[in-house]
Amino acid sequence: MSFNGYGVWAIYRFEMARALRTLWQSVVTPVITTALYFVVFGSAIGSRMTEIDGVAYGAFIVPGLIMLSLFTQSIFNASFGIYFPKFTGTIYELLSAPVSPLEIVIAYVGAAATKSAVLGLIILATASFFVPLQILHPVWMLGFLILISTTFSLFGFIIGIWAQNFEQLQFMPMLVVTPLTFLGGAFYSIDMLPEPWRTVTLFNPVVYLISGFRWAFYESSDVSLAVSASATLGFFLLCLAVVGWIFRTGYRLKN
């Protein structure tokens, strides 16, 4: 069976059009929220704090704030994108269409990752108005941005299939991912924590994602670049394996 590029493009275009119809919710609201973080943490609190690893506090939190938005928006975009066809019953038309499971995943996850990556770049541009920024390794920064957007979009895709109502759809990003992000070094270096809390924090997978992304900006990280990249790639492969299992078994797709 040949690759159905037209089918992938049709789903991708539909999902991107939905983001444009809800532009305020998809882009403007996260940017305003992030700007408020910069005002409170960067200006009000940051002016009273010393530098962290030679980086001004306002600039230090930029990668963490981008990751916070990236995690939540990637999960929301992908989970809602696949959950809504389940909710309306049009999922059966999608499954019976001449589009393979791989093509469905590419379309939905690709659209969600695109929206999240663009939002991350918009927030980065917004941050430059509040704090002086430097990106020492722009290629690594874009690489982490795209890989993390894709990984959490896959994670959101899994949540969208698993969820049976809108409450479950909100459960994972609000009660799991957001707290892990706040506790994962988004606003501080985990080296500032006393033992045993620093060791406990290393079991938080979000630490490795934020650390690698921050290294691309300032060459400052809580764990090595190799460990961060390996952890991010490992999470991506795990999500890919779970999605493959879902389509093989029809878990919550065909019943």
Q: Supply the mean pLDDT for the chain.
A: 87
pLDDT over 60 at 1, yes or no? no
> Around Cβ 134, how many Cβ atoms within 10 Å?
8
pLDDT over 70 at 232, yes or no? yes
pLDDT band at 42 (very low <50, low <70, confident <90, very high): low
Tokens of 135: 């990106």
pLDDT band at 235 (very low <50, low <70, confident <90, very high): very high
Residue 255 lies in a domain: no
pLDDT band at 128 (very low <50, low <70, confident <90, very high): confident
CA distance readout (Å), 158 to 74, 80, 85, 139, 151: 12, 11, 14, 29, 11
> Around Cβ 10, how many Cβ atoms within 10 Å?
14
Residue 178 lies in a domain: yes
Residue 236 lies in a domain: yes
Q: Which helix (H) or strand (E) holds 120?
A: helix 101-127
Residue 65 lies in a domain: yes
Residue 29 lies in a domain: yes
Q: Could you give the percent of the chain with pLDDT greater than 70? A: 96
pLDDT digits (tens, 9 = 90+) for 89-107: 888 888 888 888 899 999 9
pLDDT band at 44 (very low <50, low <70, confident <90, very high): low
**What is the predicted pLDDT for the residue at 38?**
75
User: Could you give the 3-state DSSP secondary structure of residue 78?
Assistant: helix
Count Cα atoms within 13 angstroms, Cβ side, for 126: 25
Residue 128 lies in a domain: yes
pLDDT over 70 at 252, yes or no? yes
Q: Greater confidence, 41 or 236?
A: 236
**What is the predicted pLDDT for the residue at 3?**
83
Q: Could you give the percent of the chain with pLDDT greater than 90? A: 41
Residue 254 lies in a domain: no
Contact between 212 and 232 (Cβ < 8 Å): yes
Residue 167 lies in a domain: yes
pLDDT digits (tens, 9 = 90+) for 163-206: 888 888 888 777 888 888 888 888 888 888 888 888 889 999 99
Residue span of the structural domain in which 76 resides: 5-249
**What is the predicted pLDDT for the residue at 255?**
59
**What is the predicted pLDDT for the residue at 39?**
75
Q: How many domains does the chain have?
A: 1
**What is the predicted pLDDT for the residue at 47?**
64
pLDDT over 70 at 216, yes or no? yes
